[in-house]
């Protein structure tokens, strides 16, 4: 097994998940699956790419692949990404000033659950910002149960109980998935990475078999601009 992002062969064990974190670039199993999807798209130097909350290994690879000025990395707190000195500030609750029909690819992993805004708002603007032929690659942590969200001051312990993490504002449950996120974007019935990648490829990238299919914390969604169901 090796990290398909940086080539590393050592993996650190995480509680209950086994040796899944790359000791070199710190990628997780979901990051390596995300990278397989990025490679599948055959990113070109002239593409414009927006990467939210950038992962170090992915950032380093895309910086090498894209022409200067075509790669935008952004987060609400850019100081949290010292490896990316070009990271700019973005507020995903206030996105009207970002350009429309501009990006060939928009990427983010485990971001949606942090945004204190109606779920449709950031998804609308991210799809508005895509070119007509663009792709929105996102990893969303789907958890057992029903959808839940709260933007109020309920405390870290209550957020941990309801959403699985103390800095989350929503829980995207698998039981009623097609009634919340599925009412905003077109979702696959059952995501399956084997539709795009061989089992050997997934194993070689140290992506556990439990992450190959279904809606879970590492599910990668490859959405097109037209997959947004509401009005653009």
Q: So where are the chain's domains?
A: 29-227
Q: How far apart are CA 24 and CA 11, in angstroms?
A: 8
Mean pLDDT of 102-121: 97
Name the one residue in this structure whose structure tokens are 């979901």. 30
The string of pLDDT tens digits covering residues 50-87 is 999 999 999 999 999 999 999 999 999 999 999 999 99
CATH topology for 29-227 is: Rossmann fold (3.40.50)
Q: Which residues contact 206 (CB under 8 A, 6 or more apart)?
A: 1, 2, 3, 11, 19, 20, 22, 29, 32
| φ/ψ of residue 77, rounded to 5 | -125, 85
Q: How far apart are CA 115 and CA 8, in angstroms?
A: 33
pLDDT of 231 over the 80 cut: no
pLDDT of 135 over the 90 cut: yes
pLDDT of 232 over the 80 cut: no
Mean pLDDT of 21-33: 97
Look up the pTM and report it. 0.94
Map residue 232 onto helix, strand or coil: coil
Q: How far apart are CA 175 and CA 142, in angstroms?
A: 10
């Amino acid at each position: 097994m090796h990290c398909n992002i940086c080539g590393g062969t050592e993996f650190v064990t995480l509680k209950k998940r086994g040796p899944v974190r790359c000791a070199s670039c710190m990628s997780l199993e979901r990051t390596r699956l995300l990278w397989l999807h990025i490679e599948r798209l055959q990113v070109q130097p002239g593409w414009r790419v927006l990467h939210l909350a950038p992962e170090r290994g992915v950032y380093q690879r895309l910086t090498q692949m894209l022409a200067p000025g075509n790669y935008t990395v952004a987060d609400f707190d850019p100081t949290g990404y010292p490896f990316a000195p070009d990271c700019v500030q973005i507020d995903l609750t206030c996105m009207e000033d970002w350009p429309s029909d501009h990006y060939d690819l928009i990427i983010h992993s485990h971001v949606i659950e942090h945004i204190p805004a109606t779920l449709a708002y950031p998804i609308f603007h991210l799809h508005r910002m895509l070119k007509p032929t663009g792709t929105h690659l996102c990893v969303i942590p789907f958890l057992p149960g029903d959808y839940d969200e709260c933007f109020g001051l309920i405390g870290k312990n209550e957020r941990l109980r309801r959403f699985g993490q103390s800095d989350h504002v929503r829980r995207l449950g698998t039981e009623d998935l097609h009634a919340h996120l599925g009412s905003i974007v077109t979702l696959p019935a059952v995501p399956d990475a084997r539709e795009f990648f061989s089992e050997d490829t997934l194993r070689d990238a140290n992506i556990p078999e439990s992450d190959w299919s279904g809606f879970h914390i590492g599910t990668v969604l490859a959405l097109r601009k037209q997959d947004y169901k509401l009005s653009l």
